[in-house]
Homo-oligomer: A and B are copies of this chain.
Amino acid sequence: MKQIEGGVTAPKGFQAAGAEAAVKYKDRKDMALVYSEAPCRVAGVFTSNLVKAAPVQWDRELVEHSDFVQAVVVNSGIANACTGKQGMDCCRAEAECAGKLLGIPDRAVLVASTGVIGMQMPVDRITAGIEKLAAAKSPSLEAGHDAARAIMTTDTVPKEIAVQAEIGGRTVTIGGMCKGSGMIHPNMCTMLGFVTTDLNISKEMLQKALSADVVDSFNMISVDGDTSTNDTLLLLANGLAGNPEITGEGPEYDAFCQALHFITVYLARKMAGDGEGATALFECKVVGAATKRDARVLARSVVCSSLSKAAIFGHDANFGRFLCALGYSGASFDPENVDLYFQSENGRIHIYSGGCALDYSEEEATAVLSAPEVTILADMHQGDAEAVAWGCDLSYDYVRINADYRS
């Protein structure tokens, strides 16, 4: 497996576009299209929030009941959530418009939205945007990049990646893009993620791969603990790589899962590190846990803790906050038998063991915590289960962005 340049347009047969539709933002691209020249198997995972945005409802139905899809229309600025019947009508209008322009059935068009909740969509501007997208779509890397930029809200950088692997005697390519960066506490994930591949795989195995993957990728990140109404991760596979169809487990399926996980972890980490107001990626690695479930719960609890996040922002070796977050996670362990370490590109410090703080240099600890990516390593000494969760620090800018987001 190797990483290559590009994003959603890297796999064979995929095209993309970004366009200015002035949905809510001005003077920037705010609508994106992902289009496949050939029909695609599709898998999806969606928010577990009871309040589900209209596009989430639309896509869930299609992912469940459509055999093939061929396009995804995305807008940023307005989430089309808490919009009632009018919101569903907008999804239908988007699918009809895109279907007609692309010459594909309405039910082959997925939709996704991200932005302010509760505001109705400007359908006229949306359909005008779709016309621009259909006209501009292209298989170029630049087109994929335009799409990745168009779906951003408070993100500061676009997030995209592509890899290639040999599967079933063919070169298979997988590309992905996603956006954050607030209301991020996926529990599949206001993240939107789109992964494309030219792999030939059955719908059942595609969904199985995606559902298994998110548990240790997108579901292990948190920016603020708020699970959005719009979290959507879609995986489209058009089969153009020409490998024999994957219909069950085996080395080919495993090779795909491995490549997919590389993509999703890359995107999930990028999303966490670009969390609203973030100055650092905050990673918690738990090792020696009794069970995999415990390891996940412990790691997530630490990256979700406001006080731990604030300590990372302050480069403050206040290790008690991390231990405190492990303690209220719900997982069982002996606090006297935990080892805590801080590590980053600036070094590694063993800070807590045997129920007490170790003798460490504050200066050295501050240096370790001042890196752009900081890891808290917790060894629970209970078993051999491991998990990694990703978050970001809590900064003044998170408050600034969210005290006044709608304006």
Residues of A within 8 A of B (CB): 48-52, 79, 81-86, 116-120, 182-183, 185, 187, 224-229, 304-307, 310-311, 313-314, 316, 318-321, 323-328, 332-333, 335-336, 352, 354-357, 394-396, 398-400, 402-407
7 interchain residue pairs of minimum CB distance: A117-B320, A314-B403, A51-B327, A310-B402, A84-B355, A227-B328, A49-B327
Contacts of A316 on B, CB cut-off 8 Å? 403-407
A333: chain B residues within 8 A (beta carbon): 50
In contact, A118 and B319 (Cβ under 8 angstroms) = yes
Contacting residues, chain B, for A325 (C-beta < 8 A): 226
Q: List 21 A-B contacts (CB under 8 A).
A: A49-B324, A51-B327, A81-B320, A82-B319, A82-B335, A83-B355, A116-B320, A117-B319, A118-B319, A118-B357, A119-B357, A225-B225, A225-B304, A226-B324, A226-B328, A310-B399, A310-B403, A318-B405, A395-B403, A396-B400, A399-B399
A51 to B326, CA, bound (A): 8
Q: Which of B50, B86, B304, B402 contacts A356, CB < 8 Å?
A: B86
Q: Do B318 and A406 have beta carbons less than 8 Å apart? A: yes
Q: Taking A118-B357, A229-B320, A307-B182 as contacts, is the C-beta distance between A50 and B352 under 8 angstroms?
A: no
Which chain B residue lies CB-closest to A51? B327
Beta-carbon nearest neighbor of A227 in chain B = B328
Min CB–CB distance A286 → chain B (angstroms): 14
B394 touches A183 (CB 8 A): no
CB-based nearest B residue for A325: B226
Contacts of A117 in B (CB 8 A): 318-321, 323-324
Residue of B nearest to A85 (CB): B355
Whether the Cβ atoms of A226 and B50 lie closer than 8 Å is no
Q: List residues of chain B with CB within 8 A of the CB of A326.
A: 50-51
Q: Interface majority SS on A: helix, strand, loop or mixed?
A: loop
* Max chain B Cβ within 10 angstroms of own Cβ: one of A304, A305, A395: A305
Residues in B neighbouring A356, C-beta threshold 8 A? 82-84, 86, 118, 120
Known A-B contacts A226-B305, A357-B118, A402-B314; A320 and B79 likewise in contact (beta carbons under 8 Å): yes
Closest CB in chain B relative to A333 CB, distance in Å: 7
Counting chain B CB atoms within 10 Å of each CB, the highest count among A86, A321, A328, A332 belongs to A328
Greatest chain B CB density within 10 A among A83, A228, A336, A402 is at A402
Q: A327-B49, A333-B50, A405-B318 are in contact. Are A225 and B84 (CB under 8 A)?
A: no
Q: Shortest beta-carbon distance, A282 to chain B, in Å?
A: 13
Which residues of B have CB within 8 Å of A335?
A: 50-52, 82
Chain B hits for A352, CB < 8 A: 82, 118
Chain B CB within 10 A, most for which of A324, A336, A403? A324
Q: Least Cβ distance of A245 to chain B in Å?
A: 37
Q: Are A402 and B320 in contact (CB under 8 A)?
A: no
- Across the interface, do A118 and B320 meet the contact criterion of CB distance under 8 Å? yes
Cβ contacts under 8 Å, A305 to chain B: 225-226
CB-based nearest B residue for A187: B328
Inside 8 A of A403's CB, which chain B residues have their CB? 310-311, 313-314, 316, 394-395
CB distance from A315 to the nearest CB of B (A): 8
Q: Are B402 and A332 in contact, with the CB atoms below 8 A? A: no
**In the assembled complex, which residues on chain B have CB atoms less than 8 Å from the CB atom of A225?**
225, 304-306
Determine whether the beta carbon of B321 is less than 8 Å from that of A82.
no
Complex-state Cα separation, A120 to B82, whole angstroms: 51
In the complex, the answer to whether B306 meets A224 with C-beta atoms within 8 Å is: yes
Question: Which chain B positions have C-beta within 8 A of A314?
Answer: 402-405
